Amino acid sequence: MAENHPLLAPATLTLAKAGTQRPAYDRSRLRTGIVHLGLGAFARAHQALYTEELHAAEIGDWGMTGVSLQRPDQRDRLMPQAGLYTALQKDRTGVSVRIVGCVNSVMVAPEDPVAVVEAMANPRVKIVSLTVTEKGYCIDPATGRLQQNHPDIRHDLEHPGEPRTAVGFILAALERRRDEGMAPFTVLCCDNLPSNGRLLASLVSDFAALRDCGLATWVETHASFPSTMVDRIVPATTAEDIAEAARLTGLADAAPVVHEPFRQWVIEDRFIENARPRWERVGAELVGDVVPYEHMKLRLLNGAHSALAYLGYLAGHETIADTVEDPVLRAFVQGLWRDEIIPVVSAPPGTDLSNYAWMLLERFSNPAIRHRTWQIAMDGSQKLPQRLLATARERLAHNLPLPRIALAVAGWLRYVGGIDESGREIGVRDPLASHLRTVLDQAGHEPQHRVHAVLGIEAIFGSDLPRDVRFVDALTAAYTRLLTRGARNAAAELISAGF
């Protein structure tokens, strides 16, 4: 058990077992150049590992300060370990272990928001990066702009020096920089959102305009918000992972992360004063336009992930690997890529989308990565528009059928109803969970009524899809088939019908 091992800490690094890769640089020389909002498992298994590998080649002022915007859990796990943690890379061949040292400190925003603003405003900080998930940006889904009446946004407008939101913290720190005559930092969004940099720039600009038009003009003129595309499968850490990290390293780590071997990071090279780590030395791609890469990833990877999560969960599969081992659902997702997604996605330069899809299937099949369908199914109301509905709109624009997209959306609709195919309660985690359940309960049991009721939620489906009879009919047929035949049989019928 982990408690039988010495705590992972600087003084115990020399006790790590053979085969454990340790920081290959002097951590005492590492100054904070990056403040990261939302230091969850993904950030520590992706961006932090690129930075860690770069430090091994060239030490620089690119240590990371993490900021938790809601809870103290991450700080309470990491800071007794001086920010150190273990990264476990898993595939069919086994596990490799690395202790990561690039996190200097972790702050908890609700405990001292003023200190967080000060840390971001420090002139040594050149980059403020984010992984706060889709729901952390206070976006009005109907307009794609800032949700001005969000209670946390209202709070930040009334208390600009003690913000709660990511947007509020960014603007407070940028305002401090402006008032003190300093250059702004680069804001680097690393969440799975279309044109994430431009989106975040518009949200910060909207918020600044509510505060001070002069501040909004300064931000729009001087700040930089490069877009990025990030990719690595990082499942939630389990108690078994914590025990495994201790067994492999000989040190007790309260905050390990697990990840697959594959990773990709595409970044628009638009940094203030060109101040950034040379991440390209360790595999990141610095480009002029990230849009083709993000469309490919959002539609092929994330769209398929969500489709497999809902249909796989309903069919009784715990993980994505289990789901694609099911021959019916494996064939379903292959057809989804081949027939419905790839025909309406433009490939990035030098990329073969069929090969990319094959690589995705291999990644999904990795039995060592236990990425739970329930975890991926979270926050579907926020993810659906980018991952599946965008492809639906593309196909409708070309008057193309969308039976597999419709079945995936129907899977989401069945899932958020809160009852699985065996009559058991589903632990739905979604910002709109209670509203969705109420809407569906009020609609009654008729499939067409339930579809009509949910399509009325403009924040998810917009105003166009509910008026498109092709989409409504396809979704109603898919949902009816799902209710009567079950997820696996519904997918099998599509396949046998030649779709």
Contact 239, 198 (CB under 8 A): no
**257 in the same domain as 351:** no
Segment 359-373, tens digit of pLDDT: 999 999 999 998 999
Segment 257-292, tens digit of pLDDT: 999 999 999 999 999 999 999 999 999 999 999 999
Contact 168, 136 (CB under 8 A): no
Q: What is the CATH number of the domain that holds 311?
A: 1.10.1040.10
Instruction: Determine if residue 350 is left, alpha or beta; phi over 0 gives left, psi from -120 to 50 gives alpha, anything else beta.
Output: left
61, pLDDT greater than 90: no
What integer is the mean pLDDT of 335-358? Answer: 96
What integer is the mean pLDDT of 180-194? Answer: 95
Segment 123-174, tens digit of pLDDT: 999 999 999 988 899 998 778 899 999 999 999 999 999 999 999 999 999 9
Contact 343, 394 (CB under 8 A): no
Sequence-distant (6+) residues with CB within 8 A of 158 are none
3-class secondary structure, 271: coil
Q: What is the CATH number of the domain that holds 279?
A: 3.40.50.720
140/248 Cα distance (integer angstroms): 45
Radius of gyration from C-alpha coordinates of the chain: 23
User: pLDDT-derived band of residue 410, with 50, 70 and 90 as boundaries?
Assistant: very high
Q: Which H or E element spans position 228?
A: strand 228-231
Q: Of 242, 261, 287, which residue constitutes the final position of a domain?
A: 287
Give the pLDDT confidence score for residue 96 in this predicted structure: 97
Structure tokens at 161: 């020096």
Cα angle, residue 302 at apex, residues 299 and 306 outer, rounded to 5° = 115
Identify the domain containing residue 50 by its residue range: 2-287
Structure tokens at 309: 């999560």
248/293 Cα distance (integer angstroms): 36
Strand partners, 133: none
**301 in the same domain as 275:** no
Q: Burial-class residue 286 by CB neighbours within 10 Å (0-12, 13-18, 19+).
A: middle
Q: How many other β-carbons are positioned within 10 Å of the β-carbon of residue 77?
A: 17
Sequence-distant (6+) residues with CB within 8 A of 36 are 43, 47, 48, 64, 65, 66, 67, 128, 129, 130, 131
Contact 8, 40 (CB under 8 A): no
Give the pLDDT confidence score for residue 3 in this predicted structure: 61
Percentage of the chain lying above the pLDDT 90 cut: 92
User: pLDDT-derived band of residue 2, with 50, 70 and 90 as boundaries?
Assistant: very low
**400 in the same domain as 372:** yes
**232 in the same domain as 106:** yes
**246 in the same domain as 274:** yes
3-class secondary structure, 376: helix
**362 in the same domain as 280:** no
Give the pLDDT confidence score for residue 164 in this predicted structure: 97
419, pLDDT greater than 80: yes
User: pLDDT-derived band of residue 183, with 50, 70 and 90 as boundaries?
Assistant: very high
**317 in the same domain as 265:** no
The closest alpha carbon to 421, from 311, 314, 307, belongs to 314
111/103 Cα distance (integer angstroms): 20
Contact 472, 478 (CB under 8 A): no
Segment 227-266, tens digit of pLDDT: 999 999 999 999 999 999 999 999 999 999 999 999 999 9
78/254 Cα distance (integer angstroms): 7
The closest alpha carbon to 310, from 150, 195, 478, 108, belongs to 478
Q: Which H or E element spans position 354?
A: helix 353-364
**306 in the same domain as 271:** no
Q: What is the pTM of this model?
A: 0.87
Mean pLDDT of the chain: 95
386, pLDDT greater than 70: yes
Q: How many domains does the chain have?
A: 2
**202 in the same domain as 296:** no
**463 in the same domain as 368:** yes
Sequence-distant (6+) residues with CB within 8 A of 204 are 167, 170, 171, 174, 187, 219, 223, 225
Contact 360, 304 (CB under 8 A): yes
User: pLDDT-derived band of residue 58, with 50, 70 and 90 as boundaries?
Assistant: confident
What integer is the mean pLDDT of 82-102? Answer: 96
60, pLDDT greater than 50: yes
Contact 426, 309 (CB under 8 A): no
Contact 444, 372 (CB under 8 A): no
The residue ranges of DSSP E strands in 73-138, in sequence order, are 85-91, 94-100, 103-108, 127-130
**303 in the same domain as 270:** no
Give the pLDDT confidence score for residue 1 in this predicted structure: 42
Contact 415, 377 (CB under 8 A): yes
Output DSSP code: residue 142: T
**409 in the same domain as 308:** yes
Q: Of 238, 269, 287, which residue constitutes the final position of a domain?
A: 287
201/219 Cα distance (integer angstroms): 9
Give the pLDDT confidence score for residue 194 in this predicted structure: 87
Q: Taking each helix axis as running N to C, give the angle between helix 327-335 and helix 303-314, from 0 to 180 degrees, rounded to the nearest 10.
A: 150
Q: Of 260, 287, 314, which residue constitutes the final position of a domain?
A: 287
Segment 306-323, tens digit of pLDDT: 999 999 999 999 999 999
Length of the chain: 499
Residue whose tokens read 């915007």: 69
Segment 5-39, tens digit of pLDDT: 999 999 999 999 999 999 989 998 899 999 999 99
Q: How far is CA 177 from the centre of its chain?
A: 29
Segment 467-479, tens digit of pLDDT: 999 999 999 999 9
